[in-house]
Structure 1
Amino acid sequence: MTLTFNKRKFSSVQIIVFLYVASVLIASFLLWLPFFQLPGVHLSFIDALFTAASAISVTGLNVVTIHEVFNQRGVILLALLFQIGGIGIMTLGTFFWMMLGQRIGLEYRKWIATDHNRPTLAGLVELMRNILVLAVVIEVAGTILLGSYFLIAGYHQNWYEAFYYGFFAAVSAFTNAGFDIYGNSLHDFSHDYILQTIIMGLILCGAVGFPVLIELRNWLAHRRVGRRFTFSLFTKITTITFFLLIVLGTLLFFLFEREAFLQGKSWHESLFYSLFQSVTTRSAGLSTMDSSILTTPTVMVLSILMFIGASPSSVGGGIRTTTLFVLVVTVASYMRGRKDVKVFGRELVDEDIMRSFIVFFVAIVLVLTAVISLMWIEGLPLAPVLFEVCSAFGTTGLSMGITPELSSAGKLILILMMVIGRIGIINLLLFLKKDDYAVSYHYPKERIIIGQ
């Protein structure tokens, strides 16, 4: 007798989502083990799950204090989890696959393209190699800089401890994970501008996007030999939007806090407080101050910046900077009576415009649903709940202090938002998408009244 099995072929998006979900679950069980915890610590599974989701989504929201719960093995495990979420599960998978001498086939290339949001399959293996090399170089450089500085500045008395803390801080900053092992983020370093500058540099390298870093490296190589290099439209849009948001965030933070938190502070204190909080909203989550004492306008601005998030194909989450840019220029083009959208001598593709509006709409619905649900379940006011939800969705990790006090249901809502923020709205929609089917007919088209 012959048995026939109906095999369902999973799409590349579904496989990637399954891999990330499986990684979170496996990491949860590992962090739950006493082997990775300090003696006498009791960590509930929901808190282990939250910590794992926060680490792999490189968010940084915490329900426990890392240095009070995890031993050195647990801390190193967290740093490894940052790599899965930061540089991508397929980048690491490609590295190990190539180490085994295996060929990267077509199906595997589709998974890579999905994980890194690439429209084509060309050059993906080279892209993975470049990303891995860049990540290693930046993290090693960050570890050396921070470890040496911790030792020279006297923060740690021996080289092992200095470089141990430097390694974790460098990886956390570059991957925008936002975790710390000091217990209060960077509050103790609020007046150490050298340390803050190094951390901000690492944050920017991770959040600006790997394609931008690769093109910048290629530009430097071309410049050394006197050859002309043209940046792609993606890099131009990403870079301009990315740094404009940082400038805007800095100015608005200073404007709204100059008579509050920044009152009585010197110009350099005000500058670094404003600049660091703006930079960290790209997706980093490290902070030099207590976010719970900010004014409501500042909380709203930081929530919007976290909702926007980092650049595509970076370590960050949110709707991404290019989505915001496309939304703005499309509306501006419509206001000028144009039916197409032109930027930097190029015309945007209609499909990309539609995807941007879809991402924005779905993200708004998800965030509002999470905010309303948390307010109903936890009985908390709007501002801190919105701040926490946008932090989770943008995989940022800034907190007003309410996350550790949430119920299990509230924590599950934030876990879901963190995972969605990591895999992206487009992948979420494609994951839920039904199989395509051919349409052999069309209905008559009819105009409707829109907007007024």
Structure 2
Amino acid sequence: MLYILTTFLAAVLLRLPIFHKPGVSLTFIDALFTAASSVSVTGLSVITVHEVFNNAGLILLTVLFQIGGIGIMTLSTLFWLLFGQRIGLEQRKVIATDHNRPGLAGLVQLMRSILMIAVIIELIGTVLLGTYTWMAGYHEHWYTAYFNSFFTSVSAFTNAGFFLQSDSMISYAGDYIYQLIVMLLIISGAIGFPVLLELKRRLVNRKQRQHFSLFTKITTLTFGVLIVAGAILFYVFEQGGFLQDKSWHESFFYSLFHSVSSRSGGLSTMDVSLLSTSTMMMLSGLMFIGASPSSVGGGIRTTTFFVIVAAVFAYMRGYKDVKVFNRELEEDDIKRAFIVFFVAIGLIFTAVLLLTAFEDIPFERLLFEVCSAFGTTGLSAGITETLSTASKIVLIITMIIGRIGLVNLLLLRKDDQPVRIRYPKEHVIVGQ
């Protein structure tokens, strides 16, 4: 509910003339779409942000990126602490839900740590990008270089997917240093705050031998495998298409960048509409999986995908229990992973079905757009601006659900009810 209220409030603010360039106005549906895309840190856009908003409007967008990326409750906790307020039990429950945490212990310290890490990474990104673009001659004035880099750094780390040029990062397609910095920012935001916190503790306490948690091992492994697999498939699928006249290093960076960006980043160094159908379907799958839990990204999350794959392989090998990294997964977590997966499939199917009814656009492009919205990615096949109001509303709902997370929505159900009556069990023929 907080994200929905924030989205409507943001839409009202984005319509105010003080945030617009002279002579520019926004319809409510376009303002609502931009607000939803910003708060959900998606990046799909029906406008060109630098042509509509002045510097004040761009700063407002970065604030919305922070709210959506870091989390409403994280920032609320900061304000409560600044005003000397105690964080009560109800607030702690909301924080735990917002960040998908199993317990209530240590949540306030967690929020402080998340804020500190986010600010440090975004400042480092701003300094690196600002200094590089100014020295490379991209901007005439240093303050323009650092302002644009601040916007890009926040957008990349929060995986918001917005950029201050209408062609996203196409003009930086040949600048590999710039791309590497942006990719590191995207990965830092999408890998998950628990992973960053464990890495921080490992670096601070080097003398103490510490083991990474099962969550960090699964997240890092799945995240890395998906990036490598995505880059390889992009390279293979586009050999006879977009990459056919490109050098090896151009092909490498096009493949790697879009594999990383499909995790939830949404920035692009090429016109996505030029991709083949097979590549668009593959990227749709990566966007559907999305980023890691407790991160700035959306999708079903990397751990959900890992648990499903591990459970299927364990069943195929005749095991009833799922064991990974010398640990046994909880049965409830396995059930939750499958529930999230199938609810997500139902959501995607419904959204695509509605869009096919509203639009006369090829199926693969509509699927790509819906997966981009659900994964809060922001990559677009170039059809967002042409969509009808009804289709925009469908994508707005999909973006908000993608940001909130299906797990959080499922947690809105009532607590487990006590079993009073048990019935005889009976097998049902399935799968044949």
Answer whether TM exceeds 0.5 for this pair.
yes
CA RMSD of aligned residues (A): 0.9
One-letter amino acid of the structure 2 residue matched with residue 316 of structure 1: G
Q: Which range is displaced more, 118-127 or 307-316?
A: 118-127
Taking the aligned partners of 2:416 and 2:137, their CA distance within structure 1 comes to 62
Taking the aligned partners of 1:438 and 1:286, their CA distance within structure 2 comes to 48
Matched, 1:442 2:426: no
Matched, 1:26 2:9: yes
Taking the aligned partners of 1:169 and 1:441, their CA distance within structure 2 comes to 58
Matched, 1:163 2:146: yes
- Give the structure 2 partner of residue 385 of structure 1: 366
Matched, 1:82 2:57: no
- Give the structure 2 partner of residue 180 of structure 1: 163
One-letter amino acid of the structure 1 residue matched with residue 145 of structure 2: A
Equivalent positions of 1:33-432 (< 5 A) are 33-223=16-206, 226-431=207-412
Taking the aligned partners of 1:302 and 1:28, their CA distance within structure 2 comes to 30
Paired residues in the alignment total 432
Taking the aligned partners of 2:417 and 2:341, their CA distance within structure 1 comes to 26
How far apart are 1:150 and its partner, in Å? 1.2
Percentage of pairs with the same residue: 64
How far apart are 1:265 and its partner, in Å? 0.9
Taking the aligned partners of 1:387 and 1:412, their CA distance within structure 2 comes to 16
One-letter amino acid of the structure 1 residue matched with residue 153 of structure 2: A
Taking the aligned partners of 1:191 and 1:39, their CA distance within structure 2 comes to 34
Paired residue secondary structure (2:205):
helix
TM-score, length-scaled by structure 2? 0.99
Taking the aligned partners of 2:4 and 2:216, their CA distance within structure 1 comes to 30
How far apart are 1:215 and its partner, in Å? 0.4
TM-score, length-scaled by structure 1? 0.94
One-letter amino acid of the structure 1 residue matched with residue 3 of structure 2: Y
How far apart are 1:412 and its partner, in Å? 0.2
Question: Which consecutive segments of 4 or more residues in structure 1 shift more than 6 A?
Answer: none
Taking the aligned partners of 1:38 and 1:181, their CA distance within structure 2 comes to 14
Unmatched 5+ residue regions in structure 2?
none
One-letter amino acid of the structure 2 residue matched with residue 350 of structure 1: E
Taking the aligned partners of 2:410 and 2:210, their CA distance within structure 1 comes to 36
* Closer/same/farther in 2, CA of residues 436 and 212 from structure 1, 3 Å limit: closer
How far apart are 1:248 and its partner, in Å? 0.2
Taking the aligned partners of 1:444 and 1:365, their CA distance within structure 2 comes to 31
- What whole-Å deviation, never above 9, does each CA across 1:302-343 have from its counterpart, x for those lacking one? 000000000000000000000000000000000110000011
Paired residue secondary structure (1:447):
coil
How far apart are 1:405 and its partner, in Å? 0.5
One-letter amino acid of the structure 2 residue matched with residue 100 of structure 1: F
One-letter amino acid of the structure 1 residue matched with residue 394 of structure 2: I
How far apart are 1:430 and its partner, in Å? 3.0
One-letter amino acid of the structure 2 residue matched with residue 406 of structure 1: L
How far apart are 1:32 and its partner, in Å? 0.9
Taking the aligned partners of 1:254 and 1:317, their CA distance within structure 2 comes to 25
Taking the aligned partners of 1:294 and 1:381, their CA distance within structure 2 comes to 14
Taking the aligned partners of 1:319 and 1:439, their CA distance within structure 2 comes to 30
- What whole-Å deviation, never above 9, does each CA across 1:234-279 have from its counterpart, x for those lacking one? 0000000001000000000000001110112111100000000000
* Closer/same/farther in 2, CA of residues 47 and 84 from structure 1, 3 Å limit: same
Taking the aligned partners of 1:188 and 1:207, their CA distance within structure 2 comes to 24
Paired residue secondary structure (2:264):
coil
